[in-house]
């Protein structure tokens, strides 16, 4: 593949990753309008978000193995087309059940699309400086996707209709399919490729049970159904690990997550996902409900977060080969934590310029420092046979982290608000502030993970000439 074709391939893969991530948040701003239009209950409103993240996160490992065994380009194409059809179905939904089903289908096809895209990136840029740059670009765009979703959702809701927050995906699908035909090369794992169906069923049920249990926590952590689903999820995931250690062709080869550095990167990705997906939702609610911003103004108000990520990312990319990923992954979460603690001081009568804007800028700086090295580090040293599975694990960490984070933040918010009236804006602001404090604690933990697990000289963590990852047609 020529150098020019490789960079066009990066554009296609990054664009499709953007739509997968932004679809986790683009409907957030549109939810009030969709709820009124379709007559959604509050429970259905929550499931419009949860259905996407749950299907995406639970099916990612299976999607990664399908990409490895069936062909990454082929899986990418099917995932892209299916994602587009599910988006049209959701955009034309006539009731809440149809919308929730459409969101679940989006998540299922995204679970094929996302690991295939990241695996294709891995084999397209096998080593060296170009690989570092490509992963930095890909990670930055993926990291900014949640914030871009808020802005795009605001624009579409204000000037068109909430349905266009789903129908707009057709544009991305058309570009992705054409780009894949022109610039992507097929690759797949060689050798004996047998699907681990038992492991697939167990991990899907385990992750699904865990995420669903956290979604029930908003009604109370001590409830029997909440505890039951959480415990069941943990038991099933433990069973999955046992199964994977004994089958010949595991769905998730344990060598992928056993590596201390790679495992640390996955954990940091989970925490970062919880903040980008969960905390940004409550920021949106504060802007719209407490500060009385329109959907468009709320989207524009979130733009500094995206702008800061995009401005700082090139500098972090240049800094990465000089200092290595460890300092960035230690400092980045601390920047985000400081920003979240600043945002936790929001009040009902406070101004955007004083109470919100500085926090968004600092958060963007920190997120850029996290996302630039993270994807590269998570996939460094992965064998060609495992590219799809490792890519799926990286994506799954962010999506499951986002799902759990959203559920935890919701439980914290409900606990903080208590019996306050929905019109008590001061109480609502206090509830949103409480979620930001919990998110800040999570980012401090992420920095601690980097200190404890992301160890080694930069030449070890990010070699300039690592073992190439070869594509096998």
Each residue's pLDDT tens digit, 147-203: 677 777 778 877 888 899 889 889 989 999 999 999 888 887 776 677 788 988 998
- Quick one: which of 77, 105, 75 has its CA closest to 89? 105
Distance CA 386, CA 250 (A): 10
SS (H, E, C) the chain: CCHHHHHHHHHHHHHHHHHHHHCCCHHHHHHHHHHHHHCCCHHHHHHHHHHHHHHHHHHHHHHHHHHHHHCHHHHHHHHHHHHHHHHHHHHCCCCHHHHHHHHHHHHHHHHHHHHHHHHHHHHHCCCHHHHHHHHHHHHHHHHHHHHHHHHHHHHHHHHCCCCHHHHCHHHHHHHHHHHHHHHCCCCCCCCCCCCCHHHHHHHHHHHHHHHHHHHHHHHCCCCHHHHHHHHHHHHHHHHHHHHHCCCCCCCCCHHHHHCHHHHHHHHHHHHHHHHHHHHHHHHHHHHHHHCCCCHHHHHHHCHHHHHHHHHHHHHHHHHHHHHCHHHHHHHHHHHHHHHHHHHCCCCCCCCHHHHCHHHHHHHHHHHHHHHHHHHHHHHCCCCHHHHHHHHHHHHHHHHHHHHHHHHHHHHHHHHHHCCCCCCCHHHHHHHHHHHHHHHHHHHHHHHHHHHHHCCCCHHHHCCCCCCCCCCCC
- For residue 192, count CB atoms less than 10 angstroms from its CB and return exposed for 0-12, middle for 13-18, buried for 19 or more: exposed
Distance CA 77, CA 87 (A): 15
Distance CA 364, CA 147 (A): 10
- Residues 434 and 87 sit within 8 Å (Cβ to Cβ): no
Question: Does the residue 20 lie in any domain?
Answer: yes
Higher pLDDT, 209 or 362: 362
Question: Does the residue 165 lie in any domain?
Answer: yes
Distance CA 192, CA 154 (A): 48
pTM of structure: 0.78
Q: 387-417 vs 425-453: helix axis angle to the nearest 10?
A: 140
Question: Does the residue 472 lie in any domain?
Answer: no
pLDDT digits (tens, 9 = 90+) for 370-400: 988 887 777 767 776 676 677 778 777 877 7
Distance CA 113, CA 119 (A): 10
Higher pLDDT, 209 or 340: 340
The reply to whether 86 and 47 lie within a common domain is: yes
| Tally of domains in the chain | 2
- pLDDT at residue 353 in the model: 93
How many C-beta atoms surround the C-beta of residue 353 within 10 A? Answer: 8
Question: Does the residue 10 lie in any domain?
Answer: yes
- Taking 90 as the threshold, does the pLDDT of residue 218 lie above it? no
The reply to whether 155 and 257 lie within a common domain is: yes
- pLDDT at residue 42 in the model: 66
Q: Give the chain's end-to-end CA distance (angstroms, integer).
A: 13
The reply to whether 224 and 354 lie within a common domain is: no
Tokens 């069923």 belong to which residue? 201
CATH of the domain at 415: 1.20.1250.20
Question: Does the residue 191 lie in any domain?
Answer: no
To the nearest whole number, what is the mean pLDDT of the chain? 83
Percent of the chain with pLDDT over 90: 26
The reply to whether 374 and 289 lie within a common domain is: yes
- pLDDT at residue 1 in the model: 59
- Taking 60 as the threshold, does the pLDDT of residue 472 lie above it? no
Q: What is the mean pLDDT of residues 241-253?
A: 86
Which of 250, 271, 286 is the C-terminal boundary of a domain?
250
- Residues 407 and 211 sit within 8 Å (Cβ to Cβ): yes
With cut-offs at 50, 70 and 90, classify the pLDDT of residue 441: very high
The reply to whether 286 and 152 lie within a common domain is: yes
With cut-offs at 50, 70 and 90, classify the pLDDT of residue 470: very low
Q: What is the mean pLDDT of residues 246-275?
A: 84
- pLDDT at residue 467 in the model: 40
How many C-beta atoms surround the C-beta of residue 138 within 10 A? Answer: 23
- Taking 80 as the threshold, does the pLDDT of residue 5 lie above it? yes
The reply to whether 21 and 128 lie within a common domain is: yes
- Taking 60 as the threshold, does the pLDDT of residue 465 lie above it? no
Question: Does the residue 468 lie in any domain?
Answer: no
Question: Does the residue 471 lie in any domain?
Answer: no
- pLDDT at residue 389 in the model: 73
The reply to whether 160 and 230 lie within a common domain is: no
Which of 225, 250, 275 is the C-terminal boundary of a domain?
250
The reply to whether 260 and 362 lie within a common domain is: yes
- pLDDT at residue 47 in the model: 80
Range of the domain at 412: 3-185+251-461
Distance CA 315, CA 365 (A): 10
Q: 169-183 vs 3-22: helix axis angle to the nearest 10?
A: 160
Tokens 């992507």 belong to which residue? 184
The reply to whether 31 and 131 lie within a common domain is: yes
- Taking 50 as the threshold, does the pLDDT of residue 468 lie above it? no
The reply to whether 428 and 298 lie within a common domain is: yes
Question: Does the residue 324 lie in any domain?
Answer: yes
Distance CA 108, CA 51 (A): 10
pLDDT digits (tens, 9 = 90+) for 321-357: 888 888 999 999 999 999 999 999 999 998 999 999 9
- For residue 8, count CB atoms less than 10 angstroms from its CB and return exposed for 0-12, middle for 13-18, buried for 19 or more: middle
The reply to whether 324 and 177 lie within a common domain is: yes
pLDDT digits (tens, 9 = 90+) for 128-147: 677 777 877 777 776 666 66
The reply to whether 150 and 7 lie within a common domain is: yes
Higher pLDDT, 93 or 44: 93
- Taking 50 as the threshold, does the pLDDT of residue 452 lie above it? yes
- Ranking 44-58, 139-153, 251-265, 363-377 by mean pLDDT, the lowest is 139-153
- pLDDT at residue 323 in the model: 85
């Amino acid at each position: 593949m020529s150098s020019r074709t490789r960079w066009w391939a990066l554009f296609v893969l990054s664009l499709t990753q953007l739509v997968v991530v932004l679809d986790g948040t683009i409907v957030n701003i549109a939810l009030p309008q969709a709820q009124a239009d379709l007559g959604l209950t509050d429970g259905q409103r929550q499931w419009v978000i949860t259905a996407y993240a749950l299907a995406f996160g639970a099916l990612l490992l299976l999607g990664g193995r399908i990409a490895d065994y069936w062909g990454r380009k082929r899986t990418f194409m099917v995932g892209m087309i299916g994602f587009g059809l599910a988006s049209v179905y959701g955009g034309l939904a006539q009731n809440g059940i149809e919308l929730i089903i459409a969101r679940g289908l989006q998540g299922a096809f995204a679970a094929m699309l996302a690991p295939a895209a990241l695996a294709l990136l891995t084999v397209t840029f096998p080593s060296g400086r170009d690989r570092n740059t490509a992963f930095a670009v890909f990670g930055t765009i993926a990291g900014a996707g949640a914030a871009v979703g808020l802005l795009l959702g605001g624009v579409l809701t204000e000037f068109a209709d909430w349905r266009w927050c789903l129908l707009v995906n057709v544009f991305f699908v058309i570009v992705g399919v054409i780009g894949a035909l022109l610039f992507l090369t097929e690759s797949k794992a060689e050798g004996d490729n047998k699907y681990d169906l038992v492991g697939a069923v167990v991990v899907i049920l385990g992750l699904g049970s865990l995420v669903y249990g956290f979604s029930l926590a908003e009604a109370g952590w001590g409830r029997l159904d909440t505890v039951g689903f959480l415990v069941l999820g943990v038991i099933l995931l433990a069973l999955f690990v046992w199964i994977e250690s004994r089958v010949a062709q595991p769905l998730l080869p344990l060598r992928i997550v056993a590596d201390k550095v790679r495992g640390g990167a996955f954990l940091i990705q989970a925490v970062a996902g919880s903040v980008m997906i969960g905390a940004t939702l409550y920021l949106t609610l504060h802007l719209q409900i407490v500060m009385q911003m329109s959907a468009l103004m709320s989207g524009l108000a979130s733009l500094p977060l995206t702008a800061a990520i995009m401005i700082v990312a090139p500098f972090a990319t240049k800094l990465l080969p000089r200092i290595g990923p460890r300092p960035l992954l230690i400092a980045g979460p601390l920047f985000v934590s400081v920003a979240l603690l600043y945002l936790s001081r929001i009040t009902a009568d406070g101004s955007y310029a004083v109470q919100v804007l500085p926090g968004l800028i600092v958060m963007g700086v920190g997120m850029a420092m996290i996302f630039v090295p993270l994807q590269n580090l998570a996939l460094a040293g992965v064998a060609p046979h495992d590219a799809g599975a490792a890519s799926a694990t990286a994506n799954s960490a962010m999506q499951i982290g986002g799902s759990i984070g959203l559920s935890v933040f919701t439980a914290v918010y409900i606990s903080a608000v208590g019996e306050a009236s929905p019109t008590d804006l001061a109480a609502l602001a206090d509830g949103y502030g409480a979620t930001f404090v919990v998110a800040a604690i999570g980012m401090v933990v992420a920095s601690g993970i980097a200190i404890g697990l992301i160890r080694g000289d930069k030449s070890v963590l990010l070699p300039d000439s690592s073992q190439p990852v070869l594509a096998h047609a």
